[in-house]
Copies of this chain bind each other. A is one copy, B any other.
Amino acid sequence: GCGKEDTAIEKEVEAQTTASTETKQPEVIAPHKDLNQEPVPLKIERVSENVVNVEMTAQITDIEIDKDYTYKAWTFNGEAPGPVVVVNEGDTINFTLKNMDPVIPHSMDFHAVHAAPSKDFANVNPNETGTFSYPANKPGVFMYHCGTAPVLTHIANGMHGTIIVKPKNGYPHDKEIDREYLIIQNEWYKYNDLDDFTNGVPSQVVFSTKALEEGAQNTNGDTFTLKDKPLLAKIGDRVRLYVNNVGPNEVSSFHVVGTIFDDVYIDGNPYNHMQGLQTVMLPASGGAVVEFTVTREGNYPIVTHQFNHATKGAVAYLKVTAT
């Protein structure tokens, strides 16, 4: 063929490459190319009545967010969202952040604490460790996330999660709760693409659950795991969900099909009590405790009722059995 035809073929090849890039293929930054760091477990240890030591690790780890689609996520502890942190109202948190990322600084912004962000949420450089201390003096379901600039990039690439601060005096219906789970909603976009993070619509909107006790189910934010391996309950159970919408951009209309929330506590604070809600509105970063009763055997979908987002993945199942 002549030169023109060659160019045409090249363009076609390029177009196909671009097309696949735009849909699924991550454009990993060079120093992350060969990295898939083994998840380092969260360390959490109570060292006195009101003091808890928490150690987390910023690391680069592959996460399967959709069937056969792996995202080389920027993570806390190799999970996205990161592991749940549970402390008590009134605790002081002594926090250590290890940064295993070879090139990018990371940091930690706990919504649960009082702290001066410019110092207490400061960057930890690659291969370094930072230590911080702050009080968690309000009960609730709070977001945490990396606060390093550009913040949207760090959150959207996977550096988000939930910290639960258990209320000193509990919730009104604590004794009636038969089982409880944490559900986190997050969005995924084109890989590490700040323009898409800023101006695009999410490619996936997903739910995950995190183990509230040892051995419990603990998943990443993906489109399929909580459909394939549902949360479980039994007929008559009163179920509590701790819910957190970590965004980065979208609000959530959180709903469980087949039931009505008997009691809702906005941001998980017992003072913010609502009753009989079909759907709870969660701002970006907002949390809630929702409690409901399942009265019949079968599958109950958990969704955001912004159904474009449910269609992109944000559906989990609660399987209710007779015994």
A residues adjacent to B (C-beta < 8 A): 109, 111-121, 138-140, 142-143, 147, 150-152, 155-156, 194, 197-199, 201, 247-255, 257-260, 266-267, 269, 271-272, 274-287, 293-301, 304-312, 320
Task: Give complex CA distance A116, B311 in Å.
Answer: 21
Cβ of A284: which chain B residues have Cβ within 8 Å of it? 253, 279, 304-307
Task: Give complex CA distance A276, B280 in Å.
Answer: 17
> Closest residue of chain B to A109, judged by CB?
B257
A232: min CB distance to chain B, Å? 14
Task: Give complex CA distance A301, B111 in Å.
Answer: 12
Q: Is the interface of A mostly helix, strand, loop or mixed?
A: mixed
Query: Which of the listed residues A251, A284, A301 has the most CB atoms from chain B within 10 Å of its own CB?
Result: A284
A291: min CB distance to chain B, Å? 13
Residue pair B120, A258 in contact (C-beta under 8 Å): yes
Q: Which 5 A-B pairs have the closest CB atoms?
A: A116-B298, A253-B283, A116-B296, A269-B276, A285-B305
Cβ of A320: which chain B residues have Cβ within 8 Å of it? 116
A260: min CB distance to chain B, Å? 5
Residue pair A269, B277 in contact (C-beta under 8 Å): yes
> Closest residue of chain B to A253, judged by CB?
B283
Residue pair B258, A308 in contact (C-beta under 8 Å): no
What are 27 A-to-B residue pairs whose CB atoms are below 8 Å? A109-B257, A114-B258, A114-B260, A114-B295, A114-B296, A115-B295, A119-B297, A140-B260, A140-B278, A142-B278, A155-B307, A198-B308, A198-B311, A199-B308, A247-B253, A251-B306, A253-B283, A253-B286, A267-B277, A267-B278, A269-B276, A271-B274, A278-B286, A278-B287, A280-B283, A283-B306, A284-B304
Task: Give complex CA distance A121, B300 in Å.
Answer: 10
Task: Give complex CA distance A290, B201 in Å.
Answer: 30
Cβ of A299: which chain B residues have Cβ within 8 Å of it? 116-118
Residue pair A285, B278 in contact (C-beta under 8 Å): yes
Residue pair B286, A138 in contact (C-beta under 8 Å): no
Residue pair A260, B198 in contact (C-beta under 8 Å): no
Residue pair A117, B257 in contact (C-beta under 8 Å): yes
> Closest residue of chain B to A252, judged by CB?
B283
Task: Give complex CA distance A140, B310 in Å.
Answer: 24
Task: Give complex CA distance A151, B118 in Å.
Answer: 41
Cβ of A312: which chain B residues have Cβ within 8 Å of it? 198
Partner of A266, one of B254, B260, B274: B274
Known: A116-B299, A260-B138, A300-B117. A197 touches B147 (CB 8 A): no
Cβ of A142: which chain B residues have Cβ within 8 Å of it? 278
Cβ of A260: which chain B residues have Cβ within 8 Å of it? 111-112, 114, 138, 140
Residue pair A114, B293 in contact (C-beta under 8 Å): yes
Residue pair A143, B278 in contact (C-beta under 8 Å): yes
Query: Which of the listed residues A109, A271, A294 has the most CB atoms from chain B within 10 Å of its own CB?
Result: A271
